[in-house]
Amino acid sequence: MKRIVCLISGRGSNLAAILRTAESERWATEIPAAVVAVISNRADAAGLAVAAAHGVPAAVLEHQSFASREQFDARLAEAIEAHRADLVVLAGFMRVLGGAFVNRFCGRLVNVHPSLLPAFPGLATHRRALAAGVRVHGATVHFVSGDVDGGAIIAQAALGVLPEDNEETLAARVLQREHVLLPRCVRWLCEGRVALQNGRVVTRDLAADHLALLG
Ligand code: GRF
């Protein structure tokens, strides 16, 4: 059984998507995976209520209470290891993790990012996509590396940018795709169908079109 720990900072809609999928696909019974804990770096994260609603233990570890990034990261790593996590999912975790943390969890740390990486790493991705005039935009699930939003790409969901789109409409459509893409990737990781080997993503029993959601 793969033990998943989700890290959040806010709304928690991606967490909700994972937990809904886990329930509807009967993870733990049919699939060797279970979300065993949620950790938020913010006490006011709405996602904490999502965890509670699904009966998943949640904890708050506020980064402001630590003197340095390294100290926060070290405490966070301990909290994750206490749950014997096989997989750590950054589900809207809005805090950069330092090199020591990333190395410690290398190959079992994934993130969802609201753009087609390597385009638009960082914040305000939808605004920047609109400003750049791109016709295709989307979301990426990737392994986390030392470069922010720069790790090996697992899968992407693409959608067309409409002439009438604004930041809100585009964000909403991308988010819907994230909610499909992320639970799917988490499941594949737990099934051993996706892994990181020597810095590259390797897959087993996955058609190429599984990894690219188009339209
Ligand atoms: C998502 O758009 C995700 O891609 C980004 O932060 C947002 C989190 O949303 N990293 P939510 O908390 O999952 O609703």
Q: Do 51 and 38 touch, CB atoms closer than 8 A?
A: yes
* CATH domain 2-213 topology: Rossmann fold (3.40.50)
- Say how far apart CA 201 and CA 166 lie, in whole Å: 34
State the angle between helix axes of 13-24 and 167-191 in degrees (0 to 180), rounded to the nearest 10: 40
Measured distance CA(108)–CA(87) in Å, rounded: 5
- With a 6 A CB cut-off, is 203 part of the ligand 1 pocket? no
Digit-coded pLDDT (tens) for 28-49? 999 999 999 999 999 999 999 9
Look up residue 52 and give its two tokens.
């509670």
Give the pLDDT score at 71: 97
Q: Whose CA is nearest to atom 8 of ligand 1?
A: 92
Q: What is the pLDDT of residues 67-87, one digit of tens each?
A: 999 999 999 999 999 999 999
In this prediction, residue 14 carries a pLDDT of: 98
Digit-coded pLDDT (tens) for 132-181: 999 999 999 999 999 999 999 999 999 999 999 999 999 999 999 999 99
Instruction: State how far the Cα of 191 lies from the Cα of 33, in Å rounded to an integer.
Output: 8
> CA-CA distance, 215 to 212, in Å (whole number)?
10
Distance from the alpha carbon of residue 84 to the mean position of ligand 1, in angstroms: 25
pLDDT at res. 215: 73
The reported pLDDT for the residue numbered 187 is: 97
Residues forming the active site? 113
The closest residue, in CA terms, to atom 7 on ligand 1 is 92
Q: Is the pLDDT of residue 118 over 80?
A: yes
- Evaluate: CB of 138 within 6 angstroms of ligand 1: no
User: What are the φ/ψ torsions at residue 182 (nearest 5 degrees)?
Assistant: -65, -50
Which ligand 1 atom lies nearest to the CA of residue 14?
13
Average pLDDT over residues 181-206: 96
Burial annotation 91-103 (CB, 10 A radius, 16+ → b, else e): bbbeeebeeebbe
In 3D, which of 97, 165, 109, 179 has the Cα closest to residue 134?
165
